[in-house]
Structure 1
């Protein structure tokens, strides 16, 4: 098969022939129809983000595809089925604290590194082997535009965070980092889950206007000025009532003060979910006041990706139309143009901009 290979950090990806993957027990083989190229992929491949990929490696974070081979442990999946491949791989020998790797992308700790060595290659290829439990059926409509449905790689992230925070219908949600690629997805997903209103702070006024125009009065934009106390007051005022939950999806380059200002708008007994990259490239860590957390009974939790069941939920939201993919701006690239795709994604990382790689064999 043909695949795009990261031979070393800082070098362009190389498209070349590599051996077809051979699925073992508990795995399926999938023909990749489309995979999302994330806006920060260039930073990963350039070594800026210091991800634990080990070249040579076929990168790529999940994808839409068709099953080519299913093992004996698959009782419902069949050859030819259209599926979503969840990149979040978990070890099977510890139900309480499983090790985690993002196939073809990242991992956590020594155990995650072992998983990444076993499932080394991701979706920038014509074929990919995937754990059986990471494959989820898609509606037939996804086959008409798999590049658009590859946005599951983005939408599944905030959905996992909103589930972790227990977002309820009618609640007020604040999305810290709302004008970014993942943050704008959190706005759309939160509304699809029934949020009564969503406060969307940011400095990019054009992006704030886009969110307000797309979603209407349930979205409350706030133009930030960079002064922590003033920004916190402006976000609280825009909510026009208590803020039940805050989800932070700010990128690594954002100041911790921005995340803190957003988090501290939450009401007594409110919830704060941290999913962003604050501190990953250095800089100040997030410092939330102990007395404020304790006396207001605030729940603060981190969340990396989501549970397996989140895949079913996010697919249902898309299939029902509650989460609408139609307005998203999708640009597709063939496998041979993978480096163009990476460059395009880096310069098109705003709300609802999607870049897809479509590597099927001819």
Structure 2
């Protein structure tokens, strides 16, 4: 397939300046890479904070932002064997160093948590998906069953981009072995990924105690499945909230999934959720908290609690999640997906921030 010489992008030259629409050379595939034509790329609820510097994510500028996406294969490199032009695919945004997978970064968003992974973003994998085309590592592309998803299940391309939000908490839930019939407390459940975690936990057969501070958003969550979602508002009283979590289904819970934002460092919900667990309960930590948080260490020890940290998801988890989706175990039609052009970046950021956690998502369709 012949690629155009240039393509439209949303370019961020500085955290102090708004992004602009530009024409950039179209990325060509090389050995080990593939070029995708972006169809829909999600907008995380904290995009405005990240790309204005209020949330200090490390990344170089200039940068084409944008993380995962739904796309079609535009052009393949010489070592591509299975993917073909026009295949419908999902882009996994977590790029690992091939000589040491412990070093990882997120395309178009985050240069990683160590001194080595930024090398990946400074060079070959600098730019993201808020553009018409993107070049990515071959192993980060997952082919989708188009006939099943768009045909039999009747999803739109934009709805499929919900994979980007849902597969992240699946990584953490799978790591702690969440099982059908178990009860899990998810906190906070009213953000973009917290709301997604509720959807995934239900699909995995669990009952959910959704916890947060926004009563209106909690009620909207409960309405999705009143029989398997109960809610608890964070009061700030550890003992009161612990008892409320236990009372939701009449007993201790099996697991706790946390995906707190940076400002939650001093929140009491960490203790409440952990102390509501049964003996040998499990904890999955996936949030964006940078500071230290207070945990009941003696209680954790005496109750044999397993605490597991997870950043994103593995390639194997990505494949299993897609099989769940293609098998019809997840319902995406309950979510509202709103399309935006690249020129509408401000409106998209505002929508994502305002509606995050309410079953709504913003996507760029370049």
| TM-score range for the pair, normalised by the shorter chain length | over 0.9
Does 1:71 pair with 2:77?
yes
| Distance in 1 between residues matched to 2:80 and 2:183, nearest whole Å | 41
Any idea what the Cα deviations from partners look like across 1:64-100, whole Å, max 9, x if unmatched?
0000112233221111100000000111112xx5210
Does 1:337 pair with 2:311?
no
TM-score by length of 2: 0.92
Does 1:198 pair with 2:203?
no
1:103 alignment counterpart: 107
- Which of 261, 280, 284 aligns to 1:273? It is 284
Check whether the contact 1:32–1:128 (CA below 8 A) recurs between aligned residues. Answer: yes
Structure 1 residue runs of 5 or longer lacking an equivalent are none
- Which of 221, 224, 227 aligns to 1:214? It is 224
1:295 alignment counterpart: 302
Listed as ranges, the matches of 1:146-225 within 5 Å are: 146-195=157-206, 197-225=207-235
Does 1:113 pair with 2:124?
no
Check whether the contact 1:260–1:286 (CA below 8 A) recurs between aligned residues. Answer: no
Check whether the contact 2:236–2:267 (CA below 8 A) recurs between aligned residues. Answer: no
Does 1:239 pair with 2:249?
yes
Structure 2 residue runs of 5 or longer lacking an equivalent are 1-6
Cα deviation, residue 103, structure 1: 0.7
| Distance in 1 between residues matched to 2:272 and 2:121, nearest whole Å | 36
- Please provide the CA RMSD for this pair: 1.5
Residue range with higher mean Cα deviation, 24-33 or 341-350: 341-350
1:122 alignment counterpart: 128
Matched residue SS, 2:326: helix
Does 1:62 pair with 2:68?
yes
TM-score by length of 1: 0.93
| Distance in 2 between residues matched to 1:342 and 1:221, nearest whole Å | 28
Does 1:50 pair with 2:60?
no
Report how many residues are paired.
Answer: 352
Matched residue SS, 2:71: strand
Check whether the contact 1:4–1:15 (CA below 8 A) recurs between aligned residues. Answer: yes
2:353 alignment counterpart: 346
Does 1:92 pair with 2:98?
yes
| Distance in 1 between residues matched to 2:220 and 2:328, nearest whole Å | 20
| Distance in 1 between residues matched to 2:313 and 2:150, nearest whole Å | 22
Matched residue SS, 2:57: coil
Cα deviation, residue 35, structure 1: 0.3
1:248 alignment counterpart: 258
Cα deviation, residue 142, structure 1: 4.4
Matched residue SS, 1:253: helix
Matched residue SS, 2:293: coil
| Distance in 2 between residues matched to 1:239 and 1:251, nearest whole Å | 27
Does 1:38 pair with 2:48?
no
Check whether the contact 1:92–1:98 (CA below 8 A) recurs between aligned residues. Answer: no
1:306 alignment counterpart: 313
1:13 alignment counterpart: 19
Check whether the contact 1:155–1:185 (CA below 8 A) recurs between aligned residues. Answer: yes
Residue range with higher mean Cα deviation, 144-153 or 85-94: 144-153
Q: Which runs of 4+ in 1 moved over 4 A?
A: none
Cα deviation, residue 262, structure 1: 1.4
Residue range with higher mean Cα deviation, 140-149 or 326-335: 140-149
| Distance in 1 between residues matched to 2:272 and 2:150, nearest whole Å | 39
| Distance in 2 between residues matched to 1:347 and 1:332, nearest whole Å | 15
Check whether the contact 1:173–1:198 (CA below 8 A) recurs between aligned residues. Answer: yes
